[in-house]
Amino acid sequence: MGFFDFLFKRKKKQPKLKLGLALGSGGAKGFAELGALRAFEENGIEFDVVAGTSIGSIIGAFYADGYSSTDIFELIRRIDASEIKSTFMINMDTFGLFGVIDRTIGSKAIEELKKPFRAVATDVETGEGFTFTEGSVAKALCASSSYPPFFKPVVIGDKRYIDGAFVNSVPADEVKNMGADFIVGIDLSDHAVKPAGLLARIFPTYQSKVKEPWKIGYDQSDVMIHPDLTGYKAISFGAMHEMYDIGYNAAMLKVPEILKRIEELKKIKK
């Protein structure tokens, strides 16, 4: 090996470790995910690829387009939660939150976001998950977040979609499919609740194919954060600050492990 070949080899850039984030479903409990994002920001942890389900898809899309946890909090906290509490089966695209999305990232295509992003929804007819990897951000987020009985299914083409929480509440597998070397998942779900039973009552033809929609997240994540949100519900918007703090503290407890394992992986990839 010549001298210049040696120098070139020494200076050759090491492959970058690709960090992935899987954001789970949970309605208003998503404020805990924003608290977790703040903890990551404070510790210099930046994710390269993101996937989300329901509120996780909304937060994930904003994150993928460069919004900070504070930016997203300020956008989401202004929504009128009374729309959900007082109305049955409204159109998702008329819900106040989607006015916020339309004014910000809604006109973009998924492939135009600054980071790779995916959103997971459920196909009402087949009972299977569907992953949005391209096309309208607004439509993907509507489909991923349309949770019955509060919202009607979202129709795209000849398909009807509802919330992805029924099949894949923490889509770490999608993050892995995007090439992530290390995956952090955030699970907001109450594992005692079986969502498939609700769907069978609303859509008699629906056949559940997933009994534990959070299981994929635990199987595919390297680190799972599960904030203790006992007593909080998907419509607990009045407790946004408390849930934010719970998510922040839960993530901070995991930060040392995350940083340690990232450093270990960096050494392996050298």
Catalytic residue among 93, 123, 163, 187: 163
164 residue type, one letter: G
3-state secondary structure of 19: strand
Residue 168, φ and ψ in degrees, nearest 5: -160, 85
Cis, bond preceding 256 (omega within 30 deg of 0): no
CB of 146 closer than 8 Å to CB of 162: yes
Q: Give the CA count within 13 Å in the CB-facing half-sphere of 38.
A: 20
CA-closest candidate to residue 50, choices 23, 10, 90: 23
Token pair for 139: 């439509």
Q: Is 173 a catalytic residue?
A: no
Catalytic residue among 54, 145, 221, 236: 54
Q: Is 163 a catalytic residue?
A: yes
**How far apart (Å, rounded) are the C-alpha atoms in residues 119 and 57?**
5
126 Cβ neighbours under 8 A, 6+ residues apart: none
105 Cβ neighbours under 8 A, 6+ residues apart: 61, 62, 65, 113, 137
117: left (phi over 0), alpha (psi -120 to 50) or beta: beta
Token pair for 62: 């904003």
**How far apart (Å, rounded) are the C-alpha atoms in residues 241 and 172?**
26
CA-closest candidate to residue 75, choices 136, 39, 31, 121: 31
| Distance (Å) of CA 231 to CA 31, 97, 236 | 15, 24, 9
Residues that are catalytic: 54, 163
